Chain A
Amino acid sequence: QKEVEQDPGPLSVPEGAIVSLNCTYSNSAFQYFMWYRQYSRKGPELLMYTYSSGNKEDGRFTAQVDKSSKYISLFIRDSQPSDSATYLCAKGSGNQFYFGTGTSLTVIP
């Protein structure tokens, strides 16, 4: 079983839609959870991270962790064409990280 499982998509939505990206993970012995955004021909960049269960909000983005069900979600409100990218979920503890395979998102103007 993979440490982090992620639906690869692709996902295509109209501009302004609410986007939900989801991952599941195994092995609860990790301290924090992250979402990376990767534009085409670029390296992944850290978008958000959270330590605990519950929601963390940053502008149009909300990261949600449910440790009881081992579920990680990223919600994007009022999606924009500039949000078109691949989104990778990850879990980490110290310098040990595990990544999902990424979900490709396209926001259509």
Chain B
Amino acid sequence: EAQVTQNPRCLITVTGKKLTVTCSQNMNHEYMSWYRQDPGLGLRQIYYSMNVEVTDKGDVPEGYKVSRKEKRNFPLILESPSPNQTSLYFCASSSTTGIGYTFGSGTRLTVV
């Protein structure tokens, strides 16, 4: 089944404790992206990657890092999480010839 898999689905952590949210896609898509979704603000792009070793900032990159060492994986790293990073996070992928994104099921992150 074609899908984008995120882990964990839900995480509660404390301020300052580094964490990584993993994302993997099995569709051989070139393009991958991370979004956060907040009430009233909708989906906001954090980082995106056009292909392996090619990443760039989206609209809200502060406090986040990403890497793209393999085509299928695109982890999101929070080096020192803060409460304002409490949100619902989505990884998504698309192909250069397709339409739109395939989204993961989301990761609900709470930073206390």
Contact = CB atoms under 8 A, between A and B. Distances in A.
Given A44-B90, A100-B42, A32 B99 contact: yes
A100 B40 CA distance: 10
Nearest to B93: A95
Interface in A53-109: 88, 90, 92, 94-95, 97, 99-102
Interface of A is mostly: strand
B103 A8 contact: no
Nearest to A51: B99
Interface size range of chain B in the complex = 20 to 34
A32 B99 CA distance: 8
Contacts of A49: 99-100
A42 B96 contact: no
B100 A97 contact: yes
Given A42-B105, A43-B90, A43-B104, A101 B99 contact: no
A81 B12 CA distance: 32
A8 B94 contact: no
Contacts of B48: 95
Interface residues of A, number: 22
A41 B6 CA distance: 13
Q: Which of B30, B96, B103, B104 has the most CB of A within 10 A?
A: B103
Interface string B84-111: 0000001010101001111111100000
B94 A41 contact: no
14 contacts: A6-B42, A41-B105, A42-B106, A43-B103, A44-B90, A46-B102, A88-B42, A88-B43, A94-B96, A95-B30, A95-B94, A95-B96, A100-B42, A101-B42
Interface of B: 4, 30-31, 40-43, 48, 50, 90, 92, 94, 96, 99-106
